[in-house]
Structure 1
Amino acid sequence: MPSSEDEKKKAMKAFKKRLKLTQLDDDSKLGRSPLTGSKSQIVSIQPPSGFGREIWEELADAGFLKRDGGGFYALIPGK
């Protein structure tokens, strides 16, 4: 059953928020110099569990997310 546009928007918002928090967590690790200016190497994550697998597949089919394998998805820039 296709998901509604509202569910897709909520899922994308949750995905972006989780990706941002994961990247910030990775950047704040001890042992990484704040002077080097290196960005986070994290580009794909497992999607939030509050939504079904079907919605992530629909978003990937629509071109908003990219499947990275193993249940991981990456955000496509500009979407």
Structure 2
Amino acid sequence: MTVAWLLTLPLAGLVGALCWWIADAIGGLAGVGVDLVILIVLAGYMYLRSRRNPVDTSNVNADWDDGSTPDRPAKTSVAA
């Protein structure tokens, strides 16, 4: 978890600085609008990308070997 925070905080700062730089370079409300459009497009891309391999009850414990999702959960046998 520490590694996640050590990566997230500086990278969030870089994204914030980049957004400020873009808005400042364009200037005014237009710069803020361009930032908003860029962030909406990127958020939409991330959402659509996340829907390619959805995680649900049938594949939450599936292996990630080939990157595809199984059609049905793997059957496990229990020795009696």
Q: TM-score range by the shorter chain?
A: 0.3 to 0.5
Q: Greater strand share, 1 or 2?
A: 1
Q: State TM-score, norm by structure 1.
A: 0.39
Which structure would you say has the larger RCO, counting Cα contacts within 8 Å and 6 or more residues apart?
A: 1
Q: State TM-score, norm by structure 2.
A: 0.39
Q: Greater helix share, 1 or 2?
A: 2
Larger Rg: 2
